[in-house]
Structure formats: structure tokens, C-alpha cells
Structure 1
Amino acid sequence: MIGAIADDVTGGTDVAVALRRGGLRTLLFFGVPPAGTTLPAHDAVVVALKSRMASPQQAVAMSLEALEWLRNNKVSQVYVKYCSTFDSTAEGNIGPVLDALSSALSVDVVVTTPSSPRHGRTQYRGHLFIGDGLLAESPMREHPVTPMRDSNLVRLLQAQTRTPVGLIGHDTVREGATAVRGVLERPAARYLLADATTDEDLLVLGRVLAGAPLVAGAAGLASGLAAAAGSSQASGPDVLPAGRSAALSGSCSARTLDQVAEVLRRGRPAHRLDPVAVPDPAALAARALAWFDAADADGALIYSSMPPEDLHRTQEVLGVQRSARVLERATGLIAAGLVRRGVRRLVAAGGETSGAVVAALGVRGGVVGAEAAPGVPWIHPVDPAHPALLLKSGNFGEPDLLAVATEPAR
């Protein structure tokens, strides 16, 4: 069994659907489940944490707790899932988490790659490409929390750990599994970043790493591992519940801004959260829910997504931490209010937004269903009182994703 530890909620859904797509019956939990939790039949289980933006010490503690739970549930392989844009800082959290888990598992070498061609992420000669451009030339360069201004993955990871970091070059991967195994038999470093530009490259790595106790990467490498594990022809519930739909968007990524703009272009009902005008989260949520009631807004969008210049102004007025707390708390209150009003399909755009929704609703986990977009599956909670959830990473999905996913039932 594969057990994955994801560093945020949308990362958890991304890796869960990659495993399901590979034919594995996959469960997804938000946070570490209580000891003794009864699990339905499965081939893979994912524990989604909120550790990406935590301090390195907190991220390590959360990851070790997840590791203990997974080991108690007899996983044979642990997969550390981080973002395909390698979101991190010079302090962590990718390096510190790998240090802690490799030590706990007594692992000598860990292969990793953020390559996920399905999402337009590829690694070549140790550099991360977003589409046709380098990471440092993409919109991630101006990310408000983790600006990525270097594209060299070896340098980025080496800054986070004292453990040597090396590279498995593209020529080696293209030679095939035997060549990659040769590198692993004589590793030049504990952490080896593997070049991969196609799904075929990831299948090669998946075959080589099928028996490795610890692997790390984005969803692409998880797909390679799932393919190597063999298919049980897994399927999940694909029929969405009847009832009202709504979307909550807090991501300020360029792709999510495009998706919000498309909803507005279609003339769909939408309400913008303004934490500067209403800095109290309870009042901000009450205003949004009153608007929803008055508009009778099936398929509505409630959003705080804003372009970088507006975000900087908001953070200047309220401060970075306070503005985040206000919006996260308000988002949770709004999510709970929408469910009380009969919303049965709820979309959340952004990792922090998705975490706030899951926490506010008390969703502990569910079965991974069909994808609305690559890496964006519907989650069907075990508790029927909870709505079906679509938890979208800020950078994922086509421009019409929010509009399509919340299309009112005909």
C-alpha cells in the first residue's frame, strides 16, 4: 500500500487523484485520522496536512505524526507530496521534512521530482519549467508568500538541507530503468532530483522506485508509482449530488484570477469579499450570506481573489497575517452558512481556502471521485451531511473551471 503525506489540502487532492487515475482505490483524509479509524478497502491513502506555510519545526512535527499513523496502518511505501512549483523558502519545508522522514525510515537515498507534465511542469537539467518558461520567469516569481526566483532545483533544495543533493540527468532517465538503477546503486547524494519531461519518463522512474520506502515529488511521479503498483481498476463515485452549488475563491494566482474573470464575464452571480472595508470576519461572512440569500444565487461565486497590486494594498492596511486570518475565518463561516442553505456541491479555489472550508465543515476524509480538471477531483465525504467538495489548487484548471463546476442544475 502507498501512503502519501501532502503539504496542503489541494496537494492532497492532486496526489489522490493521480493514484486513483493509476487504478488504485484511494482514500483521502484531511489531517491525521484518530488511531483506530476503520478504513474501507483501499490500495492507497493520502493524509493532507496544512504544513506548506508552517514553520519548518511545525511541518516536521506534523509530517512525523502522519508517518506514524501511516506506518501503523501498514503502508509499504511513503510518498511526500509537495507542490509542482516547488513552493518553499530557503528554510523549508521540503528539505526539513525529507530530512526528518528519511531519518525516521533509515533511508539512504530519496529520489524526487516536481515534474508533472499533465500540469505543464517539467524538470530538465535540474531546472524546473512552467510550460515553456523557467520557474523564475513564471508568475510564481511574484508569489506573495513564496516568491520563486531561482529555477535550479538542486540549489533550491540544497539551501534547505545540509544533506547532499544531486541530479539524475535526462539522458540517464531516457536510457531506461537499468541506467537509473545504476545511479541508485552508487548514489552521489542522498537526495536525487530526477529529470523528467514526459509521462514516459515518470513511468520509468515509477518502475525503478516501486520498492523504495520513501519517494517525494508532485503528482506526476505518484502516477508513475501507481502504474508500477498495478491496477485494481479502481473507480469512485462519479454522480454528483443534486442541489445547489457555489464556489469560494481565495487564491490570488494568475490562473484563478482568470477563472474568476470568466465567471464574471458570464454574468453569473458573484460577491467580492473586502477585508479592508469589513475587517471583522463574522461581519464579512454575514454580509456575504445576506447577499446570497437576497440573490437566491445558485451557482454563485464568493471571492477574495485579487491581483497582486490589490493584494499588496490590502496587506499594507491590515498586515499580512491579519488579512489572511480575517479571510480564512470568514471563508469558513461562509462555507458553513452555504451548506445550511442547501449547497450540495461546493468548490474551493486555493490551498488556504480549501483548508478553511474543510476545517469549518468538519470534513475528516472521503473517497476520491472523478476529476473536474487534471489533478482536481470531486471528493465525496463519508458523512452524507457534507457536500461534495472540489478543492482546487490555485494554479490548476482551465479558465472556465469555476463556471463549469458550479453550473446550476437544469
Structure 2
Amino acid sequence: MIQIGCIADDFTGASDWASFFAEKGISTILFNGIPEADIKTEDADVAVIALKTRTEPKEEAVKESVEALAWLREQGTKQYYIKYCSTFDCKKDGNIGPVIDAAMDYLGETATVVCPALPVNGRTVRNGCLYVNGVELQNSSMKDHPLTPMWDCRIKELMRQQSSGEVVVMPKEICEKPDVQEWMGEYQRKKKHIYFVPDFYEQEQGKRIVEIFEKFKLLTGGSGVSTFLAEKLEHQEMELIKGQETPAIIIAGSCSVATLGQIAEYLETGKKAYKMSPRKILEGTESVDTIWKVIGKWKEDDILLYSSEDASTVTENQKNENISMLIEQIQAQIAQQFVREGRTRVIVAGGETSGAVTKKLGYDRYYVGGSIAPGVPVLIPVQEPEMRLVLKSGNFGKKDFFIRALEYTRG
């Protein structure tokens, strides 16, 4: 029986959430998309389903999320979690509110928690407002996110636009009240959707949040409370097969400040790298074949293949709507060719890029191993347990992340 079943709005978010359970030694399996009816959970205590609902049309996002909930319920899941971005979604017609509402209706619940914070990565909530490294969301670097720009830090206002119920902000002093459950009960008796938003700006506050909400059938948020949820589970550790030592490929499609710094740090090592040119791709002079003619010769070397640019260059490139998709397709095909050559270590930076790569490789479920950085685990495909994949959100990891990933996945 699955103790906690999670539905995540993208693949890197799913692996992020799952990593905190794996770090505690809990058997955790990650599915790329809704599993077929006869797929088993490999006796895992925690199951995570990665969807692509972060950027899908609202109706599709709701439909897929409910279908994923139905699959989890068929497996006898005891508790459910809706995982979304730790910096939320500022669009008035965003998907987070509608998906939460649909999940509450499907499960017959009238109240849940909205807890997007991940303090260990600088994503915090104070008095109902989101911060990135101490800066209000709309003033942070996330305001220029190419897919989901972040221009409002007020969760209450964001949920008001996206959802049907009432947001209740829970400052630290409320969370610490001995009679907090009675305080919450006054709102729950209203018999409509209630979303509790607790303060979470210090790591240890997560323990109190779990104590308050652990009996709720449905929880929602980022991955900040995952480690505290994991501490509550009784489990048996899953033994993973040792990987093989082959040269690795790093594929960077994210244009976040963090990934740009990681690329710069990697390049300083003098290791092999190839920078893709959006202009040449559009002209047709750069392709999978031309890139492979260069990097295919580096058979004994770790390789970085990247397309990442600073914000101003990205804006210019986005004038052509096809360029991002073309780059992702090429990067995914290169990763596939790389694996066909017998190499077993693939590291990807960027949520959309990770989705394209995993789809091309064709793996549909993974064991979740140890983490290289908070929220970034090593993934082991059930179908090919000698493989090691690292799929990170663009904003995660320190400057030496790529170097650490190479070391961590070796052997």
C-alpha cells in the first residue's frame, strides 16, 4: 500500500519532492506520466507521478490530475500530495488553484494546506507572501521566467484569482498556538474550500506544519515539508543496483541565473563543452548530425552540451516561437544517441529540457536515489537500473553542481 502518493506538475518538481523521502531511506518510485492500469508500484512506500500540468491548458491540467489521483486511489493510497512550483504561478488563469479545487472535490475534502516553500533553497513564505532568497517574488530574478513569470508574491491574491474558496494566512504565532486545531476548525465549519497558508521561512517550521496537517487526506505545496513527512513513515529501505563508470553528458537548457553560473564554473575546469547556436539552428546549419560529428569523437570524456543564454539574449531568441522546442528536440536526440553508445550517466538542467530528454529516452518509472543537492536526486530507471539520470530545476544547485554531479554519479 502506498503511504503517500504525489502528483507533480513537472518532472523536475517530481524528482525534487521524491528526493527528500529517498534521503531518509524510504522506498520511492517515480512515474513519468500516469501509469498503465497494470503497472505495479514495486512495493514502494511512496509513489510520485510526474505530469506536465505546469504549462498545460487549465482543462487538460485538471483532467490529468484527477486521472492521476484515480490511479493512486486504486493502489490503496492513504494520503495525497499535489506538488507545484515553490515560486507558484502568477497567471490569473494559472493551473494551481483549479487543480487543488479539483483534487479536493474528487477526494471529498473541504480544506487543505497551501505550502509552496522550500527554505533550504531560499524559497520562503512569511505572512502569506513568497520570497526568493529574502526578496519578494515580483522583485526577484524569477519575475523574468520565460514560461511562468512571477509578478506577485501574495498567495492570497494569487489563489483568489485562480480558485473558488477562501485563503487563511497562518503567521508563525498562529502555527505555534497549542489550540491551533480549534482555531482552524472555525474556518473548516464553513463547509467550503479553505486553503491554509502557514509561515515557513525557517527549516524547522516544517516539523510544526506537518504536526498540524498530518491527518489531512490532501496536502499541497512545494517540497519543503517532504523531509518532515518522511520522518513520520515506517518503511523498509530499497537496495539499488550499483551504476557503471562511463563518461557523462551534461545537457543544459535552462537560462536561470543558477544554471548560467554552473556552466561558467564547469567551463573553468577545461572539460569538453559544446555551445549550441540558436541562430545556426534556425538557419539549418546546425543540427543533430553536425553536433554529433564534434562531440561523438569525445568518447572518453565527460561533455557539456548547452544552449543557455542570459535573459536579454533569451528574449531576442524567443521572437521565434519554435526555437526553444527545436533546441530541446536536438538535445533530447543527442542524449538518446549518447545512451545508445553505451554511456550510462545523463545530467540535465531545466524542467522543459528534462521532460524532452526523458520522453526521448523512453523510461516511464524510476527508483529514486541519493541527492546531489537539496531537491536533486539521482534517478535509476526501473527498466535499466545501471543507468544514472540527474534532472534538476534550472534554479537549483550551487555553482559547482555539475562538477559534484559528475563525481556523485561515477561508479
What corresponds to 1:296 in structure 2? 299
One of 32, 39, 42 as aligned partner of 2:41: 39
Whole-Å Cα distance in 2 between the matches of residues 225 and 282 of structure 1? 51
Letter aligned with residue 323 of structure 1: I
Q: CA deviation at 1:239?
A: 4.0
| Other-structure match for 1:191 | 195
Work out the CA distance in 2 between the residues paired with 1:286 and 1:67: 42
8 Å CA contact 1:247–1:302 kept in 2: the answer is: yes
| TM superposition shift of 1:249 | 0.7
Cα-to-partner distance string for 1:384-409 (whole Å, 9 max, x where unaligned): 27721001111111111112323596
Equivalences for 1:209-224 in 2 at 5 Å?
209-224=213-228
**Who is 2:245 aligned against?**
242
Question: Is the alpha carbon distance of 1:382 and 1:279 closer, same or farther for their aligned partners in structure 2, counting shifts above 3 Å?
Answer: same
Matched residue type, 1:402: F
Cα separation, 2, equivalents of 1:120 and 1:247: 25
> What is the alpha-carbon distance in structure 2 between the residues aligned to residue 20 and residue 281 of structure 1?
43
CA deviation map 1:266-306 (0-9, x unaligned): 11111112232123899622222221123336210001111
SS of match in other structure, 2:14? helix
Q: Distance in 2 between matches of 1:190 and 1:338?
A: 49
1:250-329 correspondence to structure 2 within 5 Å: 250-279=253-282, 284-296=287-299, 298-316=301-319, 318-319=320-321, 322-329=322-329
> Any idea what the Cα deviations from partners look like across 1:365-389, whole Å, max 9, x if unmatched?
1111011111100001111277210
The equivalent of 1:406 in structure 2 is: 406
SS at match of 2:149: coil
Tell me, what secondary structure is at the counterpart of 1:186? helix
| Offset, 1:103 | 0.9
* C-alpha displacement of 1:350: 0.7
Deviation string 1:2-59 (CA, Å, 9 cap, x unpaired) is 0000000000001101222344321111111110112222211000111111111111
Aligned to 1:144: 146
Compute the displacement of 1:183 (Å): 3.0
Opposite residue 272 of structure 2, the aligned amino acid is: P
Tell me which moved more, 334-343 or 400-409: 400-409
Contact 1:209 1:225 in 2 (8 A): no
Q: Given that residues 241 and 386 in structure 2 are in contact (C-alpha distance below 8 angstroms), is that contact kept between their aligned partners in structure 1? A: no
**Paired residue for 2:209, among 188, 205, 209?**
205
Q: How does 1:16-165 map to 2 (within 5 A)?
A: 16-165=18-167
Equivalent residue, structure 1, for 2:176 = 174
Q: Deviations over 1:290-327 (max 9, x none)?
A: 211233362100011111111111112x22xx122212
Question: 1:56·1:96 contact (CA, 8 Å) conserved in 2?
Answer: yes
Measure the CA separation in 1 of the matches of 2:210 and 2:241. Answer: 27
CA contact (8 A) 2:247 2:299 kept: no
Change (3 A) 1:187 1:346: same
Other-structure match for 1:331: 331
- Which stretches in structure 1 are left out of the alignment for 5+ residues? none
| 2:276 maps to amino acid | L
- Measured after TM superposition, the shift of residue 233 of structure 1 is 5.9
Aligned residue for 2:227, secondary structure, equals helix
Evaluate the alpha carbon distance shift between residue 386 and residue 90 of structure 1 in structure 2; reply closer, same or farther with a 3 A threshold.
Answer: farther
Contact 1:263/1:400, CA 8 A, preserved across alignment = yes
Tell whether the 8 Å contact from 2:21 to 2:227 is kept in structure 1 after alignment.
yes
TM-score under structure 1 normalisation?
A: 0.93
Rounded Cα–Cα distance in structure 2 between residues aligned with 1:65 and 1:274: 40
Count of matched residue positions in the alignment of Structure 1 and Structure 2: 404
- Counterpart AA for 2:269: R
State the distance in 1 between where 2:105 and 2:86 align.
24
Structure 2 unaligned residues grouped into runs of 5+ = none
Alpha-carbon distance, 1:80 to partner: 0.3
User: Residue type of the partner of 2:365?
Assistant: G
Query: 1: CA distance between counterparts of 2:93 and 2:381?
Result: 35
CA distance in 2, matches of 1:323, 1:158: 35
Aligned to 1:355: 355
The residue identity in structure 1 corresponding to 2:261 is D
Letter in 2 for 1:56: K
8 Å Cα contact 1:282/1:333 also seen in 2: no
Deviation per CA, 1:103-126: give whole Å up to 9, x if none: 111111011211111111111111
| Identical-pair percentage | 34
Q: Is the 8 A contact 1:23 1:227 kept in 2?
A: no
Opposite residue 42 of structure 1, the aligned amino acid is: A
Judge which range, 368-377 or 326-335, deviates more. Answer: 326-335
1:43–1:280 CA distance, 2 compared to 1 (3 A): farther
Report if aligned partners of 1:23, 1:226 keep a CA contact under 8 Å in 2: no
AA aligned to 2:160 is: Q
Structure 1 residue matching 2:207: 3-state secondary structure: helix
Distance in 2 separating the partners of 1:17 and 1:27 = 10
CA contact (8 A) 1:263 1:402 kept: yes
Query: Distance in 2 between the 1:20 and 1:165 partners?
Result: 32
* Cα RMSD for the two superposed structures: 2.1
Aligned structure 1 segments of 4 or more residues deviating by more than 4 angstroms: 280-283, 407-410
Q: Are the counterparts in 1 of residues 90 and 151 from structure 2 also a CA contact under 8 Å?
A: no
- What do the CA deviations read for 1:107-153 (whole angstroms, capped 9, x no partner)? 11011211111111111111111112221221001112211111111
Q: Report the CA distance shift for 1:227/1:281 in structure 2 as closer, same or farther (over 3 A).
A: farther
The 1:313–1:58 alpha-carbon spacing in structure 2 relative to 1, beyond 3 Å, is same
Contact kept, 8 Å, 2:130 with 2:137, in 1: the verdict is yes
